[in-house]
Structure 1
Amino acid sequence: MPDKFMFLTFDHAEVPMGALVRGGHSWRYVEYPTTYPWFHVALIEFDGAEHRSTTFYVYDLTDLIELADSTEHQLQIERVLLVSPGHLNGTGNWQMDELIEIAKVGLEGRSSLVYRLRDGRVLFEDERARTADASQIQVVFVSPVSPSMLGPTDQAAKR
């Protein structure tokens, strides 16, 4: 199996799209066959004077960064939610939380991710990252934040 895929689909679950979306496919359901976190990305797609809301499900951090940095497509990220498995968020269940930033922490020749959430929690891919010093931490993604998304405490801090 490829190492970078998100959903597993089945022919019997495919819904014919006809000519509505050329090259597109639609399914009644999909399988997520892994326990890695992923990103629910709310976007605005601009098409001239028109715009519409859409959602991308992004599996890989590299793809999320590429999407955020892209100027080719008329897309603007509104909000990024981290969809985390129970072993990462500590609840034992999947959970979706608003993401503020992602950092990489160097640990013994490899890197580990740290997720900072809107509610103040910090999730560590590897618990050893909790004790990393500042020189080992590199912020690699910062989620865009509109003023309407800021709480009273955040708005006061921005002034």
Structure 2
Amino acid sequence: MFRTSTSDQHPITSLVSHRGVAYWTLVEVTMQVPWFLVQIMHPGDDRDVEHEPKKSFIVPEERVLDLVRLQNVPRLWIESISIISPGYMNGSAGWQMNPLAAIWTASEPDEPSHEATLYELDDGRRYVQSAFGTALKSLVQPVLVADFRPRRAAA
């Protein structure tokens, strides 16, 4: 989640915003969980795709999977997805952003009714989100949930 304050609302909000929409100069990240930067293209019917602006969203995992389902909508596609991972997950002292290749789920070995989530980066590294702190090598039967790797053309 993000926390904001009215003092951080950008002055342009009152000039260009629609009712219920605001522009912010600052938001605070209140949860140390992965977030996703999703860029979506949705070109107009008679416009040049190369010059269409991308829409970018920062969303939690459950929303990124909703956006993946939109790939079946005609003339709408996900341009890119990056994971924004907290330091405990990426092994550093802070947040990092990396292109995401896929999302997997796997059964927890000691609690098979619970699932952990694996995030596969485009460089092959994998991060695990486990309520029980389970290591990658201990997870059972990974299942591919979403694949963001570019499709290869048939030869």
- TM-score band (shorter)? 0.7 to 0.9
Alpha-carbon distance change, 63 to 131 in structure 1, aligned in 2, over 3 angstroms: same
| Residue 106 (structure 1) shift | 1.0
Q: Which runs of 4+ in 1 moved over 3 A?
A: 71-75, 126-129
Unaligned stretches of 5+ residues in structure 2? none
8 A Cα contact 1:15 1:26, kept in partner: yes
Q: Which residue of 1 aligns with 2:68?
A: 68
* Matching of residues 1-159 of structure 1 within 5 Å: 6-16=1-11, 17-23=13-19, 24-50=21-47, 51-59=52-60, 61-70=61-70, 75-107=76-108, 108=111, 109-126=113-130, 127-133=134-140, 136-145=141-150
Where 2:14 maps in the other structure, the secondary structure is: coil
Identity percentage over the alignment? 25
User: Normalising to structure 2: TM-score of the pair?
Assistant: 0.79
User: Normalising to structure 1: TM-score of the pair?
Assistant: 0.78
| Residue 62 (structure 1) shift | 2.3
| Residue 73 (structure 1) shift | 8.7
8 A Cα contact 2:87 2:96, kept in partner: yes
What is the count of residue pairs matched by the alignment? 142
Where 2:53 maps in the other structure, the secondary structure is: strand
In the alignment, the residues of structure 2 paired with residue 9 and residue 67 of structure 1 have an alpha-carbon distance, to the nearest angstrom, of: 24
In the alignment, the residues of structure 2 paired with residue 30 and residue 38 of structure 1 have an alpha-carbon distance, to the nearest angstrom, of: 14
Query: Given residue 13 of structure 1, which amino acid in structure 2 is its aligned partner?
Result: D
Where 2:64 maps in the other structure, the secondary structure is: helix
